[in-house]
Structure 1
Amino acid sequence: MTGVAPHRLAGHLVLLDPSGVMMLPEADTLVVADLHLEKGSSFARRGMMLPPYDTGETLCRLKLVIDYWRPARVVALGDSFHDDGGAARMNEVDRTALHGIMEGRDWIWIAGNHDPAPPEGLPGRTMATLEAGNLRFRHEPQAGSADGEVAGHLHPGARIVQRGRAVRAPCFASDGNRMILPAFGAYAGCLNVRHRAYAGLFDWAELRAFMLGESRVYCVRGHHLVGD
């Protein structure tokens, strides 16, 4: 795919896609974070009306990248649903689409803080963490040394200023030892990597923000990043 950024993570080649998914070619594994399916219906139940199209839009985008990469395994890094009842609230069109995307693949749901229980009525395996060689997949990154950790949860974003113009975008964040993926969901926002929530997670001298553009990923060194 045009615009993919290669990166070395704990000795492994990973490919960072402009859509926000990460591909591990040696393991034929696609990794995606924070789908937040059924976020619109979750908000509606609390009286906050959002257009009810987020699940369909997110699944459409996910199908495109999975059709392109055709991975044998998919790891969804938690908060795949916005709450534990999200899977049960899916309409039949979206449920059928998700089944089609999952068919024939080893699908692993990592438990998130929004969806700690297995999704109701859906195939796949649910795990708190997944260890594959020296890589460890979990929802929420753990402070301190964590070589090979791959996580989501924080919805990383980055901001740069060039020629007086500010640009802000979701991003992959990595120092070569840990990777935090951007949120994939249609209604998911992002949190600047310079926010205190990231304290203790990265070697800032090695930090790279892989900012998502329309058709390519842009690698930006940490010292070029600015706060909001």
Structure 2
Amino acid sequence: MEGYAFEFAQAQLTALPSGALWWHGRQCLIVSDLHLGKSERIARRGGSLLPPYETTDTLTRLDHDIMTTGARIVVCLGDTFDDMDSEQALSEEHRTWIERLMAGRRWVWIAGNHDPAPLELGGTHLDAFYEPPLIFRHIATGSARGEVSGHYHPKARVALQGRSLSRPCFLRDEMRLILPAYGTYTGGLRSSDAALTTMMEPRATAILTGTPMVEIPMPRGAAPTAPQRPSLAQPR
């Protein structure tokens, strides 16, 4: 499988180019911050009119990741919808699509700060999901080793093949793993932002999404240079 394999809290995980996380040992796919319906929410509140295709694009990528991995468990780490009205505005086509993806799988919705829980879609609704040795929640607390979360939409800038590139990224240290936002219209918070530099340990790293996938020291200032021949599977 294409991706970047690593060990975290004694769990063997794979960061996928899409921004999803695959836990083969539990047949579990984890995604965060889909923010479905963002264009509808912006238009509803009088903002700019964006092409309303992000829900289709996000669900297409999620469908691909589920089918490729054969996931039996899917965990959504909160902010699946841009707000609770976005869930109500979901088209019948998209609602049926999500229900098809949920069929025959254990589906866990973690409450986010944008959407407490998409209650009409079934599944299990939790503030945190414990699957030892990992703990899944929306916002990192750092209270226990093995915490997997989202919320911050981290991105990192790296000098790669003579160019400076900014990509969504996974951030990890010994205590926590923060996933990038999975949604098409989601923005990002630079890893050099104080909210992340003060939270992540000094030896934290960033795993950049896209192709090629590389792991670098978490950028806290100027863009670092990526390895000349990045590995797609480099456990620590």
TM-score computed with the length of structure 1 as normaliser: 0.91
Alignment of 1:69-108 (within 5 A): 69-108=69-108
- Cα–Cα, structure 1 residues 87 and 11, in superposed 2: closer, same or farther, change >3 Å? same
- Cα–Cα, structure 1 residues 41 and 82, in superposed 2: closer, same or farther, change >3 Å? same
Distance in structure 1 (CA, Å) of the matches to 2:38 and 2:161? 37
- Give how far 1:219 is off: 1.1
Structure 1 residue 16 corresponds to structure 2 residue 15:
yes
Distance in structure 2 (CA, Å) of the matches to 1:31 and 1:162? 28
Distance in structure 2 (CA, Å) of the matches to 1:219 and 1:75? 24
- Cα–Cα, structure 1 residues 181 and 78, in superposed 2: closer, same or farther, change >3 Å? same
Q: Which residue of 1 aligns with 2:34?
A: 35
Q: Which residue of 1 aligns with 2:44?
A: 45
- Cα–Cα, structure 1 residues 97 and 108, in superposed 2: closer, same or farther, change >3 Å? same
Partner secondary structure for residue 41 of structure 1: helix
Point out where structure 2 has 5 or more consecutive residues left out of the alignment. Answer: 224-236
Counterpart residue type for residue 208 of structure 1: T
Partner secondary structure for residue 121 of structure 2: coil
Partner secondary structure for residue 206 of structure 2: strand
Partner secondary structure for residue 217 of structure 1: coil
Distance in structure 1 (CA, Å) of the matches to 2:102 and 2:85? 20
Distance in structure 2 (CA, Å) of the matches to 1:68 and 1:54? 21
Counterpart residue type for residue 163 of structure 2: R
Q: Which residue of 2 aligns with 1:213?
A: 210
Q: Which residue of 2 aligns with 1:157?
A: 155
Alignment of 1:125-204 (within 5 A): 125-142=124-141, 144-161=142-159, 165-204=163-202
Could you tell me whether the CA contact under 8 Å between 1:15 and 1:22 is conserved in 2?
A: yes
- Give how far 1:120 is off: 4.2
- Cα–Cα, structure 1 residues 224 and 119, in superposed 2: closer, same or farther, change >3 Å? closer
Distance in structure 2 (CA, Å) of the matches to 1:223 and 1:43? 31
Counterpart residue type for residue 97 of structure 1: W
Q: What do you get for the CA RMSD once the two structures are aligned?
A: 1.7
Deviation track 1:94-150 (CA, whole Å, cap 9, x = no partner) reads: 11111111111100000000001x2142121110011111311000111x4531010
1:226 to 222, 228, 234: 222
Distance in structure 2 (CA, Å) of the matches to 1:54 and 1:134? 34
Counterpart residue type for residue 55 of structure 1: T
Higher mean C-alpha displacement, 169-178 vs 17-26: 169-178
Could you tell me whether the CA contact under 8 Å between 2:156 and 2:219 is conserved in 1?
A: no
Structure 1 residue 57 corresponds to structure 2 residue 67:
no
Distance in structure 2 (CA, Å) of the matches to 1:199 and 1:39? 28
Point out where structure 1 has 5 or more consecutive residues left out of the alignment. Answer: none
Alignment of 1:105-120 (within 5 A): 105-116=105-116, 118-120=117-119
**Structure 1 residue ranges, 4+ long, deviating more than 4 angstroms after superposition:** none
Q: How many residue pairs get matched?
A: 222
